[in-house]
A and B are shown apart, each in its own frame.
Chain A
């Protein structure tokens, strides 16, 4: 407000805006960043996610042991200086295996949700904008996909395609598509009636220009929030499928699979189930907290 007043009442002073005052200028982006920074949890979550991404890139070459270094003299040992998280039933270092598993879990979560988000966004834009028959077909498909609760759809798809990580990615992508389609469609329907889109239509802008330059940017905040939230739940679903024996196959160091292997020894050793589960929990938690923070920061209705 203050710079507004400055500009109006004292135009001469305007060019002399100091650096300090410049940082006071509120743009939509700076507002979002400011709101986001206020949520300390979300900032910590973001830092943790960046750290996980770093691990998934460089971790494999930094780990103290190879993921398949068998050591039969050190089977099922508890956490120690040499083996931070202990060893598994083949004497493999659990710490190294969990670090290397970061790449797998993030890759599965990110790729599945990215595919789901792209397909869902395109379907949502088209069916919201064109309406009519296309809209009914797309929404009917979404209804059908929604009729299979939770993980059941993913299990059904894996049962058709066979076990394996790639099929889990496909299953989770299919599973997350309808949510994106619904969200983007709702936003498209609202924006289609807005004055600036009507103006663009009257100016003779092409459909693709209207969709991608005028409507899509308006839907981006919704997509970002849903994207972040979906990554958490996708990692959870994917690791559940691996746990059930339908995803990653041994000796892949996938977290859900590590946990499933650990169950046979859980009566005697806790660490084989404790650490892989903790890895899944912390990763999913940080994506969910980040999603919450982004939702609050991107929602213009929420004021403090």
Chain B
């Protein structure tokens, strides 16, 4: 087990190096002179030079790269052009909010998704299945920003149950996490359904039924436990997408998280912050994929670890 985990972590290193390099070249890929873009139209030549020095773009590329990587290793992500504060500071104040939002969304969407999936899968071809899968395909097709607006209209403006924006109290997490979780719940429901349908074809299900077990026990103890494997994989992968999907939802609710920071930074051309956020989003994603892989191996006795 430990050996497998270590091998997976080592296998991550090339991807990490490539991702860091891609993110490094990010600012250098911008057509034209990024320093001039940042400085703006009215900037004097001296301003542009100052920005170029600030971005470290006045040095040769290999020197910049070494500086960037050593900065990363020391936890230094540079200075935000927008707020003139260290990017790490900007990010750390908002990271908790995004993480909390993501977790809440993941938890409710997993519960709802699994229930819908099992319900549909065990009633294959009946109205329950039809209802469940129609809701699921609708959930995948809903634009998050639209759902967010409709929820704000109904529950924040008309009924005044929840605040429209912010992350000050737990109640301000309710509407964003509903918006964020809908598509994930839908994806989980679809996977759970097909996995349950596969498992229900197995011989041991027939045996369980033949020996007179209650249908509830057959479904939850025999069928669901065996389909859990694919559910875990999907949930894990969706976690990464949730972190990305949070961008749109945070913009709708003016939620003080990493996503809204990314939008602000893109609009302000705050390249050091954009760069760091993209790096963080992809790092999280890589680490989550690793955890899912290891978890999959732990849960699946059929996988031989060599």
Chain A residues at the B interface, C-beta cutoff of 8 Å: 41, 140, 143-144, 147-152, 155-156, 158-162, 232, 236, 239-240, 243-246, 256, 259-260, 263, 266-267, 270, 273-274, 276-278, 280-281, 284-285, 288-289, 292
Contact = CB atoms under 8 A, between A and B. Distances in A.
Contacts of A147: 15, 19, 282, 285-286
Contacts of A278: 146
Contacts of B285: 147-149
Contacts of A244: 247-248, 251, 263
Contacts of B281: 148-149, 152
A244 B22 CA distance: 24
A273 B29 CA distance: 36
A160 B29 contact: yes
A144 B143 contact: no
B137 interface: yes
29 contacts: A140-B15, A144-B15, A144-B19, A147-B15, A147-B282, A147-B285, A149-B243, A149-B284, A151-B247, A155-B278, A156-B274, A156-B278, A159-B26, A159-B274, A160-B29, A240-B145, A240-B248, A244-B248, A245-B263, A256-B143, A263-B149, A277-B150, A278-B146, A281-B143, A284-B143, A285-B137, A285-B138, A288-B141, A289-B137
A259 B145 contact: yes
B167 to A, nearest CB: 19
Interface string B3-36: 0000000000011001100100010011100000
A150 B180 CA distance: 13
A285 B142 CA distance: 8
Nearest to A241: B248
B240 interface: yes
Nearest to A268: B157
Contacts of B145: 240, 243, 256, 259-260, 277
A143 B142 CA distance: 28
A159 B267 CA distance: 9
Contacts of A288: 137, 140-141
A148 B282 contact: yes
Task: Kindly name the residue among A232, A239, A277 whose own CB sees the greatest number of chain B CB atoms within 10 A.
Answer: A277
Contacts of B262: 152, 155
Given A152-B282, A266-B157, 9 more contacts: A149-B285, A155-B262, A156-B278, A158-B266, A162-B31, A232-B141, A273-B149, A277-B150, A288-B141
